[in-house]
A = this chain, B = another copy of it.
Amino acid sequence: MTTGKLFILSAPSGAGKTTLLKRVMADLPGLAFSVSHTTRLPRAGELDGVDYHFVSRDQFEAMGEQGTFLEWAEVHGNLYGTSRPALLAQLATGVDVILDIDVQGAEILRKSAAIPAASLFITPPSLQELERRLRGRGTDSEETILLRLKNARVEMQAVLDYEYLIVNDRLEQAIDTLRAVVIAERSRGHRLPTGQAIEILGEL
């Protein structure tokens, strides 16, 4: 049975990741988010089980002790984790899964090599532009903005550890590039739909 492909994706806050992903996922069938567990509170419009599995810190820690998490990390004071059984079950349905994860989590996953994955980093064209965007969206306090900028500066040093870099300068071009990476990865030799490979190679 064909199993889905895992895409590990990181981006500093404000790089435009959410918009990019929404657009590409609307265009390409067969792509789904991995749903992380988190202890942070839902933002307006976020749904439990869709955007995240929202859990208490106690629940999260209990799951961690049971070895449920492939990786977990504390970011901006909240815990985020990827449930190994949930991710494997999702991939087993044949869907390609996007794992939206911070730089530390991505490094843990890469080192463990637990699941083959393509890794992508979405970056703003510059830190000045990132700051402009963070201030422009008007949802964060000055303290939060400064924290995000500081984190971005650290995160962006990991940029060359990723296979693909998507510079979100012009939105439409960045969407096209992200879309292209997914399509290209799907056309890798070992990723041919099983039926098709059999049809082609079976005749020889």
Contact = CB atoms under 8 A, between A and B. Distances in A.
A159 B196 contact: no
Contacts of A126: 199-200, 203
Q: Number of copies of this chain in the oligomer?
A: 2
Interface in A109-161: 121, 123, 125-127, 153, 156-157, 159-160
Given A167-B192, A192-B165, A123 B185 contact: no
A165 B193 CA distance: 11
Interface string A161-178: 011111100000000110
Contacts of A123: 200
Contacts of A192: 165, 167
Nearest to A184: B184
A-B pairs, top 8 by smallest CB distance, nearest first, are A184-B184, A180-B183, A180-B180, A181-B184, A180-B184, A164-B187, A165-B189, A177-B187
23 contacts: A125-B199, A126-B199, A126-B200, A127-B203, A153-B204, A156-B200, A156-B201, A156-B204, A159-B200, A164-B188, A165-B188, A165-B192, A166-B187, A167-B192, A167-B200, A176-B183, A177-B183, A177-B184, A177-B187, A179-B180, A180-B180, A180-B183, A183-B184
